[in-house]
Amino acid sequence: VNGLRNSLTSMTMKDPYDLQQAQKQKKTSLEQELSEEAAKKATKIEKGSYNRARKARKKLEEAEQKQKMTTEEVRKQNESLEHGRQGAFKVHEEAEKAKDTAITLEKERNAFDILAPAKAKYGKWAAKDAQAAAEIEQMKNKSSEQLENEAMSENKELGNLNAKTEAEAKTNKELQKIYKSVKRINKETEVQSRESKKQKSKLGDIMKTSEYAKKSVKETDEKLRKNL
């Protein structure tokens, strides 16, 4: 009995300290478990974010490739238009030569004609030719549209993305790639816009030059009909 009493007394004396230690250990263990659980959840969430970012980046890169192909096609169209533009200038040049021949022929056949109206007519033709020639020359010497400076370098980073975990760092890398891809797509769009403006200008030159050539051919035809 005395032994039991002593044992109980001893346990009673140690209880406050032992309970305090046990509670402290339990609290620490619980905090560790919660911390580990939170870390697992954070990693799982970050992995999901990374997968979504990676998928979005791949889709964006596919779109980027299509944009590049479109830009290349627009440039090829521009090259074809430039050939057409130069061809129109050549046609106009030949039409003018033919008209000059017709005028020379008419002048030679009317060399002894003293009527003033004929001289006035030649003067009117000459004035019209000078105006057309000046406009054609202006179109020929038209400089290519200057490419605009890029507003932002392709290699510029998306600010400082401070990662707290390795998983977050991987996601941030995908975001950087997405950002750069977006900038490259924007660049391709700007190039396409500039090329389209050049196309419009070249088409205008072709139409105007062709109109002048058409008029020259018509006038030449009229002159030849009168003198042949």
100-138 residue pLDDT tens: 887 777 776 666 555 545 554 555 555 566 777 778 887
195 — pLDDT class (breaks 50, 70, 90): confident
d(CA 2, CA 184) in angstroms, rounded, equals 90
Least confident range from 7-11, 29-33, 185-189: namely 7-11
d(CA 41, CA 25) in angstroms, rounded, equals 24
C-alpha distances (whole Å) from 86 to each of 81, 210, 215, 226 are 9, 11, 18, 32
Q: What is the rounded end-to-end Cα distance, in angstroms, of the chain? A: 153
Q: What is residue 155's predicted lDDT score, i.e. its pLDDT?
A: 46
Q: What is residue 178's predicted lDDT score, i.e. its pLDDT?
A: 84
Residue listed under structure tokens 């020359």 = 137
Q: What is residue 40's predicted lDDT score, i.e. its pLDDT?
A: 73
152 — pLDDT class (breaks 50, 70, 90): very low
- The pair phi, psi for residue 200, each rounded to 5°, is -60, -45
Torsion of CA 6, 7, 12, 15, to 10 degrees: 150
Total Cβ atoms within 10 A of residue 126: 11
Q: Where are the domains of the chain?
A: 52-135+151-227
